Structure 1
Amino acid sequence: MPGLTRRIFIASAALSAGMTSKLASAGKDAAVPAGAKRGDMPLLEALSKRRSTRLFSDETIDEATLATMLWCAFGINRPDSGYRTAPSWRSSMETDIYVADTGGVRKFDPSAEAMAPALNEDIRKKASPQPFVGTAPTVLIYVADRSRMAEAAEPAQIQSAHVDAAIIAQNVYLYCASAGLGTCLVGGADKEGLKALLRLPDTKLVTFVQPIGYPKTN
Structure 2
Amino acid sequence: MAKTMKTILVLLLAFPFLVAVAVGEHCPGVRSLPVEAACQEACGTRLMYDMCMDTLHEDEDLGKLGFGPDPPQPHSVEVTAYAVLAAQRARESFAATVDAASGLLKGSLNRDERAKYDACLVEYGYADFSMARVANDMLPGCRFAGLAEEYMKGLIPLESCRDRLMRLEASPLYAMNLVDRNKELLAYSLGQLLGI
**Do these two structures clear the TM 0.5 threshold for a shared fold by scoring above it?**
no
Query: Please, what TM-score do these two structures have when normalized by structure 2?
Result: 0.29
Pick the structure with greater CA Rg.
2
Q: Which has the higher helix share?
A: 2
